[in-house]
Amino acid sequence: MHETILETTGLSKEFLGFKAVSDVSLKVRRGSIHGLIGPNGAGKTTCFNLLTKFLPPTHGAIRFDGRDITSLKPADVARLGLVRSFQISAVFPHLTVLENVRVALQRERGASFDFWRSDAVLRRYDARARELLEDVGLSGYAHLTAGQLPYGRKRALEIATTLALDPVMMLLDEPTAGMTAEDVDRIVALVKRVAEGRTVLMVEHNLKVVEGLCDTITVLTRGRVLAEGGYAEVSRNPEVIAAYLGADPGISGGQAHG
């Protein structure tokens, strides 16, 4: 067991000469909820896509659980237990809510190349899928197609689907983006609960969410790490205030401490 579960060294990504992420060295402690914040265009999502291998890095290395994953494919990273969510709600719109979760549970039986077998064999995952749906407050929606769900519920479904893989580490890309206040509270409570026994790295705009959830925060600006530490420490950092929070932190929804 390594104390650090995810570690990057000198991670960089260039798009035609534009450095979206440059020389980011990040350490995520096992069992923590780690926030990645920064103003628009700071490279958060690019960084995220690098960590999950959806983008190949230009330079640098990524180690997960003591293993170099720099050259792995995204699906294989997911198989190691590093599972991501997406900024836009990522569900399978024409599958039912239950089937959405079941597709993830189905991973347990391997690659599922058996095209000759009836999908009735998947019914054995129904019970577990219902449990997961209940866990995120979606039991009443199981038979609807996912596309019919309201936005906040889709995010909850996405988390249930991610949880179905029983990931070692979850990467959440703005889990509360575009949500109403009560939806935000529900998701925050949900993330807090499901983070038990796991590691979470989340990109988040809403500073209240970050303050309430994250043990450690890394601030990115222009592709570089500007500061790192607990919320109280980071939010007092003058550079961070200048670059991210602005002169009056209250405007961005955060509260300056002291």
Partner 1 sequence: MASHASTIAAPVAQDAPGLPGLSALGFNRAQSIAFLILLALLIAGPFFLYPVFLMKLLCFALFACAFNLLIGYVGLLSFGHAMFFGMGGYLAAHAAKVWGFTPELAILTGGAVGAGLGVVAGWIAIRRQGIYFAMITLALAQMVYFFCLQAPFTGGEDGIQRVPRGALLGVIDLGRDMSLYWVVAAVFLAGFLFINRVVHSPFGQVLTAIRENEPRAISLGYRADDYKLMAFTLSATLAGIAGGTKALVFGIATLTDVYWAMSGEVVLMTLLGGLGTVFGPVVGAAVIVTMQNYLAEFGAWVTVIQGGIFVACVLAFRAGIVGELARLLKVRL
Residue closer to partner 1 by CB (options 33, 78) is: 78
Determine, following the binding rule CB under 8 A, whether residue 150 of this chain makes contact with partner 1: no
Taking CB under 8 A as the criterion, the residue among 9, 25, 32, 112 binding partner 1 is 112
Determine, following the binding rule CB under 8 A, whether residue 46 of this chain makes contact with partner 1: no
Determine, following the binding rule CB under 8 A, whether residue 124 of this chain makes contact with partner 1: no
Q: Please answer whether residues 172 and 125 qualify as being in contact, where contact means their C-beta atoms are separated by less than 8 angstroms.
A: no
Site map 52..81 versus partner 1, x via CB under 8 A? x-x------------------xxxx-xx--
Q: Tell me, by CB under 8 A, how many residues bind partner 1.
A: 45
Q: What angle do CA 25, 26, 28 make, to 5 degrees?
A: 160
**Angle subtended by helix axes 151-164 and 181-194, to nearest 10:** 10
Q: At its nearest, how many Å lie between partner 1 and the CB of residue 140?
A: 13
Q: At its nearest, how many Å lie between partner 1 and the CB of residue 101?
A: 11
Determine, following the binding rule CB under 8 A, whether residue 140 of this chain makes contact with partner 1: no
Residue list 193-252, contact with partner 1 (CB under 8 A): none
Joined tokens for residue 97: 């809510």
Q: What angle do CA 55, 227, 210 make, to 5 degrees?
A: 75
**The one-letter amino acid at 181:** A
Task: Give first-to-last CA distance, the chain, whole Å.
Answer: 38
Residues in touch with partner 1 (CB under 8 A): 52, 54, 73-76, 78-79, 83-86, 90-96, 99, 102-104, 106-107, 109, 111-122, 143-145, 147-148, 161, 165
